[in-house]
A and B are shown apart, each in its own frame.
Chain A
């Protein structure tokens, strides 16, 4: 099974793996070999890629995943290796997000989005 992680700036990762755990919009989702074709919306959280020799962990920032013919393409705005997460920056982002206005439905959604984004980073960064 081939896993490709692509951000708008570059291809962050392209390797073979045994299993992948994705942070889908509504919960974690595991993928093994010969998975049925699917398109999923990603949330903010941890992407775990398990190959025979090692395990890679990334924080992904929303986006999509497409699975077809044993190729898992992860399209995301950012993919940060878990060890490189800046917890302090995420904490300030969280504090800022909590101060945001939530007057209308759209604004409330935006606020919720920023909060969950920051929370996921903090959780992963602290390990």
Chain B
């Protein structure tokens, strides 16, 4: 029979772990709410930009810009992977890294050069483990990515893209679909393809059926020159926000199941402990009775 005292010790340590995971779950919940609020606040900007784009299209403006069109040959690809700085969030980092590694194989099969940039400590160490060289790592993004920091990266990318250093930018991140569903996805952000920023654009396009008579200052071309890079920046920012929200959800779920698991373990350990204790007591009583009987005879 197992030692009752050892069992009790084990139960205590599991109880402590349960306290920790429970706290982490609560922290993740609080952070998730904050990150979610930021993502909602950002969607206001996105929907307004989409409205401007829709109005421009309505005004009969031909939308063409070097950032929109795919290049004839893709010789160099930049891969940006958004992972977390911390672990203990279930499959969150693993899924992103696995997807990125698969895309890497595809790019290599196309015989294109590749530069890898990774945000998050876990992603960087994940690539190191797979013996893949990372060209640049970012560690500054936590649960509330700042637009200014993302913009600096976006500006760099625009500069490099225009300068011909790479011909395509793929972003691997965890997309926030609903609060119960997040999936690791790959999105090609450069070339942009279209200016469509999501469902908001369609909505506004329907609403503004009546011919809009906008005055365009200083000129339509000049506005377009600014709209295209801005929508790229906003899209990239949205990727970061999505990744941040998804990370918190993943951690919340992981910690919740860890807490529940700890509860189950405590339950089964308690049972074994009680049984062990009882058999120990029974054994002791038997010994005493045996001793008494030996004395009497």
A residues with a Cβ closer than 8 A to B are 6-11, 24-26, 29, 36-41, 62-64, 66, 68, 73, 75, 77-78, 104, 106-107, 110
CB distance from A109 to the nearest CB of B (A): 9
Contacts of B214 in A (CB 8 A): 37-39, 68
Q: Would A39 and B45 count as touching, CB distance under 8 A?
A: no
Q: Would A64 and B223 count as touching, CB distance under 8 A?
A: yes
Q: Which residue of B lies closest to A62 (CB)?
A: B226
Identify 16 new A-B residue pairs, CB closer than 8 A, beyond the known A9-B38, A26-B217, A39-B56: A7-B147, A8-B234, A25-B222, A25-B226, A26-B218, A29-B217, A37-B214, A38-B216, A39-B215, A40-B217, A63-B226, A64-B49, A64-B230, A75-B48, A77-B151, A104-B163
Q: Would A41 and B218 count as touching, CB distance under 8 A?
A: yes
Contacts of A11 in B (CB 8 A): 41, 44
Q: Would A40 and B223 count as touching, CB distance under 8 A?
A: yes
Q: What separation, in Å, do the CA atoms of A107 and B214 have in the docked complex?
A: 32
B residues with a Cβ closer than 8 A to A are 38, 41-42, 44-46, 48-49, 51-52, 55-56, 146-148, 151, 159, 162-163, 212-218, 222-223, 225-227, 230, 233-234, 237
Q: What separation, in Å, do the CA atoms of A37 and B42 have in the docked complex?
A: 25
Q: Which residue of B lies closest to A73 (CB)?
A: B48
Q: Would A39 and B217 count as touching, CB distance under 8 A?
A: yes
Q: What separation, in Å, do the CA atoms of A110 and B42 have in the docked complex?
A: 26
Query: Which of A9, A37, A75 is most buried by chain B, counting CB atoms within 10 A of its CB?
Result: A9
Q: Would A110 and B213 count as touching, CB distance under 8 A?
A: no
Q: What separation, in Å, do the CA atoms of A119 and B115 have in the docked complex?
A: 35
Contacts of A110 in B (CB 8 A): 159
Contacts of B147 in A (CB 8 A): 7-9, 77-78
Q: What separation, in Å, do the CA atoms of A102 and B100 have in the docked complex?
A: 35
Q: Would A78 and B148 count as touching, CB distance under 8 A?
A: yes
Q: What separation, in Å, do the CA atoms of A78 and B45 have in the docked complex?
A: 12
Identify A66's interface contact among B42, B46, B51, CB under 8 A. B51
23 contacts between A and B (CB under 8 A): A6-B44, A8-B237, A9-B146, A10-B41, A25-B222, A36-B215, A37-B213, A37-B215, A38-B214, A38-B215, A40-B216, A41-B222, A41-B225, A62-B226, A64-B226, A68-B212, A73-B48, A77-B147, A77-B151, A77-B230, A77-B233, A78-B147, A78-B148
Q: Which residue of B lies closest to A103 (CB)?
A: B163
Q: What separation, in Å, do the CA atoms of A68 and B52 have in the docked complex?
A: 11
Identify B227's interface contact among A26, A29, A64, A78, CB under 8 A. A64
Given A24-B218, A25-B222, A37–B212 Cβ distance below 8 Å? yes
Identify A75's interface contact among B49, B148, B162, B212, CB under 8 A. B49
Q: What separation, in Å, do the CA atoms of A5 and B41 have in the docked complex?
A: 12
Q: Would A8 and B216 count as touching, CB distance under 8 A?
A: no
Q: Which residue of B lies closest to A65 (CB)?
A: B217
Contacts of A26 in B (CB 8 A): 217-218
Q: What separation, in Å, do the CA atoms of A5 and B230 have in the docked complex?
A: 16
Q: Would A64 and B52 count as touching, CB distance under 8 A?
A: yes
Q: What separation, in Å, do the CA atoms of A25 and B223 have in the docked complex?
A: 9
Identify B45's interface contact among A41, A66, A75, A107, CB under 8 A. A75
